[in-house]
Amino acid sequence: MINIQSMSKSYGHTQILDNVTTEFEPGCITGLIGPSGAGKTTLIKCILGMESIDNGTITIKDISIPNREILRSIGYMAQSDALFEDLTTYENMKFFGKLYIGKDLNLNHQIDKALNMVNLSDEANKKVKDFSGGMKRRLSLAISFIQDPEILILDEPTVGIDPKLRKSIWNDLFDVRDKGKTILVTTHVLDEADKCDKLLLMRDGKIISYGSPNEIKHKFNADTIEDVFLKLGDDDDA
């Protein structure tokens, strides 16, 4: 679904991504994990075509990125919320829905479905400026679901979300995955990393390891992903 070959990216003279080659498959939740500054968000922005790349290729469904049509098949939740504070939940959803939803889907039905998923249906008429941080994250997540996209890219989606809702969001992600969607998620919550089907470990702009959580733990001789993460800080490449 998403294919990256020998891709590099610099900001000025600083190399941020170094010869990244990887693939993301449908029906799979891939977790991007690695220390702060490893290049996870930059990789996501390159996949979305928000940042240009210096070398290599990125294709989605065999189409080179950037491509405007392909963007419609991606639901994206950024690390910081980009919401209209003076509008209500419903009005925000309607604005983004009109941008992303094709004629084949019913806007109100999609809004109801997405708000229900993040437990915000009762807050549909509340203005975003009166929201807590967690509520804003949930609304951003609902917006990423709105057009029922083939690909979901979520940058730290559960920051500020309480454990009960976090569990329910992960169950929703499993459902979406089981419908054959491709999901990419960055997280620093390491028990969430264990819920992913595959993990892509990054450090200093390079891919250090790729595999299921158990394969990665085995490779690093670690009992938990947290141990893997700590070892990432001081081990040589595994």
- Residues in contact with ligand ATP by the rule CB under 6 A: 11, 16, 34, 36-42
Side-chain-side CA neighbours of 108 within 13 Å: the count stands at 0
Closer CB to ligand ATP, 128 or 196, in the complex: 196
Interior/surface letters 185-216, b for 16+ CB within 10 angstroms, e for the rest: bbbebbebbbbbebbbbbbebbbbbbeebeeb
Shortest separation between residue 153's beta carbon and ligand ATP, angstroms: 13
Distance of CA 108 to the CA centre of its chain: 24
Shortest separation between residue 38's beta carbon and ligand ATP, angstroms: 4
Shortest separation between residue 138's beta carbon and ligand ATP, angstroms: 20
3-state secondary structure at position 148? coil
Q: How far apart are CA 123 and CA 96, in angstroms?
A: 17
Strands 74-77 and 28-33, how do they pair? unpaired
Shortest separation between residue 4's beta carbon and ligand ATP, angstroms: 15
Shortest separation between residue 201's beta carbon and ligand ATP, angstroms: 11
Closer CB to ligand ATP, 33 or 111, in the complex: 33
Closer CB to ligand ATP, 36 or 132, in the complex: 36
Q: How far apart are CA 90 and CA 110, in angstroms?
A: 11
Shortest separation between residue 14's beta carbon and ligand ATP, angstroms: 7
Q: Which phi and psi (to 5°) does residue 208 adopt?
A: -90, -35
Closer CB to ligand ATP, 130 or 226, in the complex: 226
Closer CB to ligand ATP, 41 or 92, in the complex: 41
Name the residue among 80, 2, 76 with its Cα closest to residue 45: 76
Place of tokens 């009166």: 130
Shortest separation between residue 234's beta carbon and ligand ATP, angstroms: 18
Q: How far apart are CA 139 and CA 149, in angstroms?
A: 16
Closer CB to ligand ATP, 34 or 75, in the complex: 34
Closer CB to ligand ATP, 36 or 125, in the complex: 36
Largest CA distance in the chain: 52
